[in-house]
Structure 1
Amino acid sequence: MSGGSTGAGSKTPADFLKSIRGRPVVVKLNSGVDYRGILACLDGYMNIAMEQTEEYVNGQLKNKYGDAFIRGNNVLYISTSKRTMSEGG
């Protein structure tokens, strides 16, 4: 899987996942629902634990959770959040 060079050297997906721990992320589920919060930890199955989690459906905030666990087989993608968390921390 060689793609265009991003200047990141030989960064693997595992390296990326390690580097974003503790940072704001967006987790998109197969159902189309977004979860935004702080990535607490994750494992090789893409099971994800998050803190300060917000649930968005069609771009609208539906729920707020303290801590949340997302089972890996539901995850479509995970990305770093470009926006800062509203209640900084």
Structure 2
Amino acid sequence: FFGIVYKKLEERASSRRNKRIIVKLSYLRFTMSRKEALSQFINQIHGRPVVVKLNSGVDYRGVLACLDGYMNIALDQTEEYVNGQLKNKYGDAFIRGNNVLYISTQKRRV
């Protein structure tokens, strides 16, 4: 759909207004693909081992149980690492989203 609209507007892009519409449609198509990619990533890592890095530099490693739109994270079998050293083990952990720097996958534990 967006490709058809984009081509039609491109043909009529003689005025400044139409050029702005083309740019907006291109941005919309780009942001929708980013949202879809993020959604696919979340679906792929659900139930798998992840590393959650906090703004403070602390890492939490565990199995991703839940993730919401605010980046609030629930982990099972959680381990806390400070400066690369294991500090604590938790059964379940909840991490508030505003503390999260990034989430990455890790290899499954043996």
**When the two structures are superposed, what TM-score results if normalisation uses the length of structure 2?**
0.66
Say whether residues 1:74 and 2:99 are aligned partners: yes
Bigger share in helix: 2
**RMSD between superposed Cα atoms in Å:** 1.7
Aligned residues: 78
Counterpart of 2:41 in structure 1 is 16
Name stretches of at least 5 consecutive residues in structure 2 with no aligned partner: 1-26
**When the two structures are superposed, what TM-score results if normalisation uses the length of structure 1?**
0.81
Counterpart of 2:82 in structure 1 is 57
Largest Rg, 1 or 2: 2
Name stretches of at least 5 consecutive residues in structure 1 with no aligned partner: 3-9
Counterpart of 2:21 in structure 1 is none
**What secondary structure sits across from 2:41 in the alignment?**
helix
Whole-angstrom CA distance in 1 between matches of 2:72 and 2:78: 15
Deviations 1:41-65 (A, max 9, x none): 1001100000000000000000000
User: After the TM superposition, which segments of 4 or more aligned residues of structure 1 sit over 6 Å from their partners?
Assistant: none
Higher relative CO (CA 8 A, sep ≥ 6), structure 1 or 2? 1
